[in-house]
């Protein structure tokens, strides 16, 4: 039987993630400690939609940081006061725009 944890996304005691592949070791440690397997499975489905919607090309060095930011938002990993200070450097270059391209066309 897999270990359980109190998931910070769905707020229930649920099985922990096992055997998943993560983008960075630090992110892996944080997600494994806070997110249950059911929420992880939801992210895996949403991840495909995010990649397609943002047209992420992983040959571009900005794609992975953009995807990680979307994942952090999906799991609300920064919502509990662990956000960086307002003047702290971002993990993304300042020219990265995560807005939906369709939003620009409607203006």
CATH of the domain at 69: 1.10.3880.10
Domain membership flag for residue 47: yes
Q: How many whole angstroms separate alpha carbon 6 and alpha carbon 53?
A: 31
CB 5 within 8 A of CB 31: no
Residues of the domain holding 31: 4-79
Q: How many domains would you assign to the chain?
A: 1
**How confident is the prediction for the chain on average, in pLDDT?**
80
pTM as predicted: 0.69
Looking at the chain, which runs of residues are DSSP E strands? 4-6, 13-15
Q: Is residue 65 part of a domain?
A: yes
CB within 8 Å of 19: residues ≥ 6 apart: none
- The span from the CA of 100 to the CA of 54, in Å, is 7
Least confident of 9-13, 42-46, 80-84, 101-105: 80-84
For residue range 52-76, what is the model confidence (pLDDT) as tens digits?
Answer: 999 999 999 999 999 999 999 999 9
- For residue 34, is it within any domain? yes
Residue 101 lies in a domain: no
Beta-bridge partners for 15: 4
| Beta-ladder partners of 6 | 13
Give the integer Cα–Cα distance in Å for 88 and 45: 31
Task: Return the number of other C-beta atoms located less than 10 Å from residue 63's C-beta.
Answer: 16
The answer to whether position 37 is within a domain reads yes
- In whole angstroms, what is the distance from residue 74 CA to residue 69 CA? 9
Structure confidence at residue 97 (pLDDT): 47
């Amino acid at each position: 039987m897999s270990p359980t944890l109190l998931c910070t996304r769905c707020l229930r005691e649920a099985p922990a993630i096992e055997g998943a592949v993560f983008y960075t070791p630090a992110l892996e440690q944080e997600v494994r400690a806070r997110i249950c397997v059911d929420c992880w499975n939801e992210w895996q489905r949403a991840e495909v939609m995010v990649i397609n919607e943002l047209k992420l090309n992983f040959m571009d060095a900005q794609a992975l940081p953009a995807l990680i930011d979307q994942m952090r938002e999906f799991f609300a990993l920064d919502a509990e006061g662990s956000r960086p200070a307002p003047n702290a450097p971002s993990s993304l270059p300042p020219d990265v725009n995560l807005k939906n391209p369709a939003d620009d066309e409607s203006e």
